[in-house]
Structure 1
Amino acid sequence: MGQVNSYHLRISQGSLKELETHLIIAERTGVADEQEVKQLLERCESVGKLLRLLIRKLGEAQSSD
């Protein structure tokens, strides 16, 4: 079960990085406001930290099984 969850969490990390890239492109092309993008990127950073923590905890749980 942990491997499946970890797998999906890693896919989520990739999707998060893709979102960050789209936000940066939107800002650079003038589609999105710089301040809004900054706030969204900060949220992305928070989500990324949570994903890394979950992946690490799942790995620790698997190791102890």
Structure 2
Amino acid sequence: MVTIRLARGGAKNRPFFHIVVTDSRSKRDGRHIERIGYFNPVAAGKDAKLQLDLKRVDHWLTQG
């Protein structure tokens, strides 16, 4: 089964998350099929906190 989840990146106390499509049995930060966006919880000012490729999200949601 395929899952859309957050994979942690960044450094200690500076979290950054990639939004990835992965097999549900893979580790959180392990192998992924496709990276479809990111989430930056520490973004300041005009920096984007969330970016998603909505076409690819729709594609993977229709795949199940």
Same-fold call, TM cutoff 0.5: no
Which of the pair is proportionally richer in helix?
Answer: 1
Max Rg structure: 1
- Structure with more contact order per residue of length (Cα contacts < 8 Å, sep ≥ 6): 1
**What TM-score, normalized to structure 1?**
0.29
Q: Relative to total residues, which structure has the larger strand share, 1 or 2?
A: 2
Q: TM-score, normalised by structure 2?
A: 0.29
